[in-house]
Structure 1
């Protein structure tokens, strides 16, 4: 207990903590008691309310059970349905179960009375009333049923329903009474809590007053003693509460000791004061000297401020002209000059001036290489000149005034004069110290000019780099380690659809979101960028993405950019792979088309072949199967030929033998062939021009017309008329192939001539095909320097229009004497064949010479130049046909003679390559030779030369 008293007496903090702790403990105990009381009230009400709710639910269930029994009884009496009767006795069991539940919940005498009434009514109703009424009803005694109702059965039921409703109402009233009691007790509890709080506040105020008294009174005594000491400057004996052990007692004792110490040191302080007075006189003498030094310091500070302002002015911009103007103005301010000028010694003589007219600037620049300032280039030192001011400079002054001009060189790193400055100041010359100071500023100017030069060079290199990047076909971007954009070319900015200046130096989320808005598969691209930027996984990751509302496909890859061993960023390259993507799709479609189109005829061939091998068939059925196999084989051959044609066209190995042909017989022959497979179609050829001669390959043109007319038949499955119209265009012949079939959707027309493309239409998909026919047609027509177009309307048919260059001369068929007087030499070792060819050519009006030897033929050609040569490869003597061909082509006088090779060797490509105009493989009809020669000579006669040599013309994409 003694220790406890010492604990509180030695510290005000302990006393305060003890009082407050006791107060808090009492407060929390009282609050906890009230809280426990409130919680008990709430729990008691909750238990009572739950019990009443369960009792109410059971009473309502009892009411529903009886109501169901009453309705089932009335339903049975009204309709006589057996299920109503069974339901009545089922309800008796439910009523009994509900009564059992209610008995478990009874707490009041009222509940016991109600249970007794329910049991009595249940027994009366289910054991007496219902069986009697049902018995009377089943016997058909309706009067007895009415009597039972009239004798009080109905009244009894109604009385019981009233009792049941009153019981439910009493339960509800009990719930309300319980709630009102809870509210009354809670109100009393709240009043008690308010009174408790008020009492606790009174206790707290009493405690604060007691603490204030214990602390404030001794502090007032100490403060009063301190004021008296300060006013009287004399020591008095003060009585403090020195017996207290707490902080107040300690402070009182310490204050008393402090007074004694002050008294002891007062005399010592007076002695020091006299010494300080003596020192003050000495300080006053030093003050005047310091003021002089301060004046000098302020002047130096002003110079430094001007110099700093000058440096800020020349360092605030990288624009050369702005820097020059800032230099002149700043230097004029530093020198107190009225005007000045700076000139760079570059090719442009860039300059800036202050206070000088434009005429004066031009005068200075004109004589810059031979003026007085030429001295700067020799000495590389500044110098000043004194001169009398001109009247225009003096203004309103009448007396003689002088101006001092300072010429100042700006030296580069290699001590060459890269700029000169001239400044004028009135009334005061430039001292040597000032010139040295200005030379120091000149070094700053030189550094600034070097920075500008470096900046211009770097800007030029940057612009060159940007121009190079802008001309690269791929989109290129450089980002830093945080993903912020550092560099981007115009290809990528066009892809993002943003201005390149706005996208430069943008943050990661900004440029990435701009790109995301243009991309379909945003999630994959976002994941790709997060992997690269966050995880740094570059180099091996490629991503392909599609643009929104566009068919373009891009592929992006990345590489890390290093400076030494430190990674400084990442480069992204976006390649437009639309063509490659389309090729891949085309390959997939090609495999699908080939597997489908080739499998169908092969299945038929294999199926019918298997039937013929495994079964004995009648001759007519065998013929039918063989016909089918033959047709499917032809179809398979046609498909393979289409694939090969496309492959040859793409590889450039397709050859065209272009001759003058009349396209009307070509189309007529195609129609005659197609009629067999078109029993429901009629064909009509209409001509609006007689100019139907073209220069082309008959077989290839026939193939193109066959594909178009075959398409017209296939895509008009209901029959109709197919019309071929020949009309004349501007230096061309137009051929319209019109059908009355299904037509083509407008959105499909641009892709119609694409390989493997087929119109996405259910009716048209039922029609077989590889999607190569129109591609082959387009290649053939364009190789003939022509064009093909299509117009269509769904449900009304299509019109394919072919435009071919027109030939305006008459064909050799119409001119039977076009070969008269022309000399032909036949070089052939077979005498019989030579005689046959000679007879054929002579009948066509040619003058023919024959020789079996190549050397002899060359001698005759030197004596008399022939108009054409028919050359065999195998000849008499040491020279072969190849040797003769080389000799003829190497002779300038004979090189233009048309040469037709007539040989049993099938080496057409070699012959055409060496310079032959045509190549006929034996055996052939002699008339073909006559037509070939006439064809070549006709072409030669149009312009005096062979227009198109009959050689292989390779088809290129």
Structure 2
């Protein structure tokens, strides 16, 4: 072990380091042991003092609380068993006794025992002697004796105990401070001793290290001097051999051997140096040859780089103009051309150039079909031309100079000339080898041009397909098998317009589903359907279309989705998803379903009344007044049925555009009065007022249809005011129009129902309104009729406050005699009724005679025609089906219109056949469909005759 230490410097330093570490570790361990013992002693003593102090505090608190409770008891008495001061004091006495027993176990020192004796003595005095006696005196009512007991020593004893308690706690605090001070002083002393020990150890180690360093540095200095001498070329011979066996000794011996070896080989190196000088001359000659070869390689590398740029340029672009620019900019350096031009032979003649002016390029394009171009196409070989330079090409030179043009043809795979390359070089002619290489490059250019053609054709087809898709009224998405959107048409963008985030092309399935789902009503079903359609391999042709509701700014849309897999070479590449907006159809179907349900109810109710009262009248003997009542009910219910059927037929005619109107000049004010009078009888709970703010109430319109409009509006005002109230009709002029507004104080209309209020079959979804009933056709019919009269209808409403419907019609300004004067002149007018039903004929006769007409009845058309020559009627009421089937009302109508004396007579058809169009085509003035009110006929005849009398007056629409 000792010899190993002697022969190794490393081991010496390692042994020294380990010794230092061991000494330090031992010193530190001793310090920690002493410190831990002192800390444990301090903590134990401190803990014992804290426990006794806490116990003293609890005793102090307990005694004070008990004394306070007793004092409160003597001062205030008890207030219930639960709040008794005495009971609280006695409970506290038990707790104090328990704490004294615990403290007795902890009392080990003199001060503790003295305090315990004082506390126990006070406890016995106060709780066992004084307190029971005071309670007894107090409860007996002797409060003065209680006060005397306190003055006789009780209070003094309490103060004495509190003083001893205070002294004991102060003594404990003092001991805690002394314990802490003792621990702090000991800590400082131990730290000082440990610091002194460290200083001593560090001094000893420094001395040992210095001694070892001196033994090492001396031989190192000798070796350093020897190395410097060898480096400077001096001969070094070691005369004194070292006796050391450590690393320095080995290093010294190695230096000695190296010195002798260098000395021996110095001669050999000199000879080799001379030989190397000779070899250097030879290498310099070879270097000159290599530099020449390298220059050639650089030229070839530059050519290859330019060709690579050309290939990359023509391969990485699909824009024709960019391709031409890339070709000419890459080929010009390869060819070494001073000017270069490429031109496509297509009718567009796209071109690109370098060093060529616009004038030169245009001249070449104008002469593109010249002879040498045709020669290129026929020979299929490049063409080289030597020519004299133009003045613009000479620059500042004046003498004649030559330049060389090279024309290269570029042919397609179909052997058609696609492009021409023109290069002009001033430095020299083009060699055959160069031309051959350039033609090889032209083939690459041909491939790129064909690729551009294919790309353009593909783009045209793709744009055509996209344009076709954008004309489709269904939203279309193309989704690949990974769920990525590849295509969306314009209609699809319209469907989702207004979203903050919209799925776009190349969006993943997760992204576009996350954008769709917040707007979908049933998100889970929606996601499941699309996942199955997009990602499963099953054929989705058999899947049923999926319906979903899409929420947007414009409202809720109902969308039907169709799926169709897309295959390419029997391999599925994606799915075509078609979104069809069926909101309109959905709402119409929904409204029609509600309409069928409503109409069924509306039809059954009056039919049940008609059948029921008819059965009663058939099978029972009834009094006349009862019969009249039943007949009245049957009549009213029949009118309801007729109105319902007429509404339905009106809607059907309006939908197919076959609704006809017989427009005549008519005064709306009397018409409104008649409607109000009828409603007043039927609705006694309501009050009706008509306020007329203008004298001009004449309009051009169909009286029956306008009556239907205002009848519906006033009837609605009554129906939707179920509790009665005022219905106000106001007539006034507004912007050369007659405005008629109908106001009620009823239920009102919700704001969300305003837009759909005039839709067919629409009814406000509200329990109160559903109970009122109706088909949902009235307002739709009103809107169509008003529109046909070139008018408008509007509504304003406040829920719970009523509604106002306003109809605006073009106003007709009248000048001349008034209606009453003209009607008075009609008294005694002849009217002929041609009717095969005598009962109806007499009913109509009675009605017309009440209106002061003179009436003639006929049942045969031919006979009626003869009577007209004698009677000369001013109006004819004609039935189509007469008693002679061979001569119908149509025949009579045609005959009358063919005769000069009879064709001006107004003819009013009264028939059960609904052939109004035919009647008006043959010249009838009006067409009444049975059954109808007889009073309507008389008013219609008066109106027509009045209009005829007004032909000589001025009737003009308001501008």
TM-score with structure 2 setting the length: 0.68
Structure 1 CA distance for aligned equivalents of residues 305 and 10 of structure 2 = 59
1:707 alignment partner in structure 2: 715
Farther off after superposition, 584-593 or 677-686: 584-593
1:618 alignment partner in structure 2: none
Mapped contact 1:553–1:576 kept (Cα < 8 A): yes
User: Which secondary structure state, in structure 2, belongs to the residue aligned with residue 697 of structure 1?
Assistant: helix
Alignment of 1:282-361 (within 5 A): 290-315=290-315, 317-361=317-361
Q: Does 1:697 align with 2:705?
A: yes
Structure 2 CA distance for aligned equivalents of residues 546 and 182 of structure 1 = 82
Structure 2 CA distance for aligned equivalents of residues 201 and 526 of structure 1 = 83
2:692 alignment partner in structure 1: 686
Partner deviation per Cα, 1:39-86 (whole Å, 9 max, x = no partner): 776666666666555544443332332222222222222223362233
* Cα pair distance change 1:216/1:929, threshold 3 Å: farther
Q: Does 1:420 align with 2:424?
A: no
How far did 1:115 drift? 2.1
1:780 alignment partner in structure 2: 782
Structure 2 CA distance for aligned equivalents of residues 54 and 887 of structure 1 = 133
User: Which secondary structure state, in structure 2, belongs to the residue aligned with residue 442 of structure 1?
Assistant: helix
Mapped contact 1:834–1:850 kept (Cα < 8 A): no
Structure 2 CA distance for aligned equivalents of residues 499 and 360 of structure 1 = 55
User: Which secondary structure state, in structure 1, belongs to the residue aligned with residue 404 of structure 2?
Assistant: strand
Structure 2 CA distance for aligned equivalents of residues 647 and 584 of structure 1 = 18
Structure 2 CA distance for aligned equivalents of residues 533 and 261 of structure 1 = 89
1:157 alignment partner in structure 2: 158
Partner deviation per Cα, 1:415-438 (whole Å, 9 max, x = no partner): 322110111111410001111121
* Cα pair distance change 1:159/1:394, threshold 3 Å: same
* Cα pair distance change 1:179/1:475, threshold 3 Å: farther
1:64 alignment partner in structure 2: 61
Farther off after superposition, 138-147 or 391-400: 138-147
Alignment of 1:832-843 (within 5 A): none
Mapped contact 1:694–1:805 kept (Cα < 8 A): no
User: Which secondary structure state, in structure 1, belongs to the residue aligned with residue 333 of structure 2?
Assistant: helix
Farther off after superposition, 478-487 or 365-374: 478-487
Q: Does 1:727 align with 2:732?
A: yes
Structure 2 CA distance for aligned equivalents of residues 571 and 212 of structure 1 = 90
Structure 1 CA distance for aligned equivalents of residues 162 and 642 of structure 2 = 96
Structure 2 CA distance for aligned equivalents of residues 105 and 14 of structure 1 = 62
1:952 alignment partner in structure 2: none
Mapped contact 1:911–1:919 kept (Cα < 8 A): no
* Cα pair distance change 1:751/1:19, threshold 3 Å: farther
Could you list the runs of 5+ residues in structure 2 that have no partner in the other structure? 610-628, 869-873, 899-903, 952-959
1:947 alignment partner in structure 2: none
2:395 alignment partner in structure 1: 395
User: Which secondary structure state, in structure 2, belongs to the residue aligned with residue 349 of structure 1?
Assistant: coil
Structure 2 CA distance for aligned equivalents of residues 582 and 37 of structure 1 = 96
How far did 1:579 drift? 5.6
Structure 2 CA distance for aligned equivalents of residues 573 and 195 of structure 1 = 94
Structure 1 CA distance for aligned equivalents of residues 580 and 739 of structure 2 = 42
Could you list the runs of 5+ residues in structure 1 that have no partner in the other structure? 606-626, 861-865, 944-957
Mapped contact 1:708–1:737 kept (Cα < 8 A): no
Partner deviation per Cα, 1:246-288 (whole Å, 9 max, x = no partner): x999999999999999999999999999999999898777666
Partner deviation per Cα, 1:205-258 (whole Å, 9 max, x = no partner): 9999999999999999999999999989999999999999xx999999999999
User: Which secondary structure state, in structure 1, belongs to the residue aligned with residue 697 of structure 2?
Assistant: coil
Mapped contact 2:340–2:353 kept (Cα < 8 A): yes
Structure 2 CA distance for aligned equivalents of residues 58 and 567 of structure 1 = 89
2:406 alignment partner in structure 1: 406
User: Which secondary structure state, in structure 2, belongs to the residue aligned with residue 372 of structure 1?
Assistant: helix
Structure 2 CA distance for aligned equivalents of residues 25 and 585 of structure 1 = 98
Farther off after superposition, 572-581 or 397-406: 572-581
User: Which secondary structure state, in structure 2, belongs to the residue aligned with residue 373 of structure 1?
Assistant: helix
* Cα pair distance change 1:704/1:682, threshold 3 Å: closer
Q: Does 1:97 align with 2:104?
A: no
Farther off after superposition, 658-667 or 525-534: 525-534
Alignment of 1:447-596 (within 5 A): 447-468=447-468, 487=487, 495=496, 515=515, 519=518, 528=527, 551-552=555-556
1:736 alignment partner in structure 2: 741
How far did 1:451 drift? 3.7
Mapped contact 2:737–2:810 kept (Cα < 8 A): yes
Alignment of 1:841-852 (within 5 A): 851=860
Alignment of 1:2-401 (within 5 A): 52-81=49-78, 83-176=84-177, 290-315=290-315, 317-401=317-401
How far did 1:101 drift? 3.4
* Cα pair distance change 1:512/1:796, threshold 3 Å: closer
* Cα pair distance change 1:234/1:54, threshold 3 Å: closer
Structure 2 CA distance for aligned equivalents of residues 105 and 587 of structure 1 = 98
* Cα pair distance change 1:14/1:431, threshold 3 Å: farther
Farther off after superposition, 223-232 or 111-120: 223-232
* Cα pair distance change 1:296/1:690, threshold 3 Å: closer
Mapped contact 2:830–2:855 kept (Cα < 8 A): yes
How far did 1:124 drift? 0.9
* Cα pair distance change 1:668/1:848, threshold 3 Å: closer
How far did 1:149 drift? 3.0
User: Which secondary structure state, in structure 1, belongs to the residue aligned with residue 555 of structure 2?
Assistant: coil
Structure 1 CA distance for aligned equivalents of residues 566 and 12 of structure 2 = 72
